[in-house]
Amino acid sequence: MSRGIIENLIEELTKLPGIGRKTAQRLAFYILSMPAEEAKSIGRAIIEVKEKARFCSQCFNITDSELCEICGDPSRDRKRICVVEEPSNISVIERTGVFRGLYHVLLGNISPLDGGNTDNVRLKELLERVRGGVEEVIIATNPNTRGELTAQYIRELLKSSGVKVTRIAYGLPMGSDIEFADEVTLAKALEGRREI
């Protein structure tokens, strides 16, 4: 059955986002041409991630053990917690090399469309963690309506705790052009100006 296994692989690959039939076909024939072990380890990585992935019991990052690599790392600064919406945000921040504290993943955000419902975000757990000697909570939710609402909600929530709550800066992206900046960003960049 020629089309059996190849057609099956092509169809499986089209389940992935942004992978249409043509791309899936190209990928399938590329996989066919790869050394068997190299190709099979891609397949195994997909299966492994689904078999072993769970949330870190402390920060809700994705991990394959009780605590994620960051929470389990004794060299990290336990006094600083950076709050993000999704586990995928962590690696982006990690790559900057600037932050050496811990994270807290909300696994969502607060939406005005849900009437500001907070049931789906891990806020209770954040509040508990903050009680354990945390000095600063850095809110790195997205700079959009939901992220902003979430950031404001967290600031209110932590007000009585005495912990310092900060928000990542708004401004012009590096390498961009003022000429093409949108007004909202430019206004935020002006408001957030710093002495040099």
Least CB distance to a second copy at residue 70 (A): 6
Distant-in-sequence, close-in-space partners of 192: CB < 8 Å, separation ≥ 6: 169, 170, 171
Residue 65 Cβ, how far from a second copy at the closest point, in Å? Answer: 6
* Distance of alpha carbon 142 from alpha carbon 135, whole angstroms: 22
What does the buried/exposed string (b/e) look like for 1-30 if buried means 16 or more CB atoms within 10 Å of the residue's CB? eeeeeeeebbeebbeeeebeeeebbebbee
Say how many CA atoms lie within 13 Å of 129 toward its Cβ: 23
The DSSP code sequence of 143-159 is SSHHHHHHHHHHHHHHG
Return d(Cα 53, Cα 56) in angstroms, integer.
9
Q: Please report, as ranges, the residues that interact with a second copy according to CB under 8 A.
A: 1-9, 12-13, 15-18, 23, 25-32, 34, 36, 38-53, 56, 61-65, 68-72, 86-88, 90-91
Q: Find the shortest distance in angstroms from Cβ 196 to a second copy.
A: 32
The nearer residue to a second copy, 87 or 171, going by C-beta atoms, is 87
- State which residue, 61 or 150, has the beta carbon closest to a second copy: 61
9 vs 165 by CB, closer to a second copy: 9
| Least distance between a second copy and beta carbon 26 (Å) | 7
Smallest distance, Å, CB 193 to a second copy? 31
CB 24 within 8 A of CB 13: yes
* Nearer residue to a second copy within complex by CB, 28 or 138: 28
Compare residues 9 and 106 and give the one whose CB is closer to a second copy: 9
31 vs 189 by CB, closer to a second copy: 31
Q: How far is the CB of 143 from a second copy (least distance, A)?
A: 19
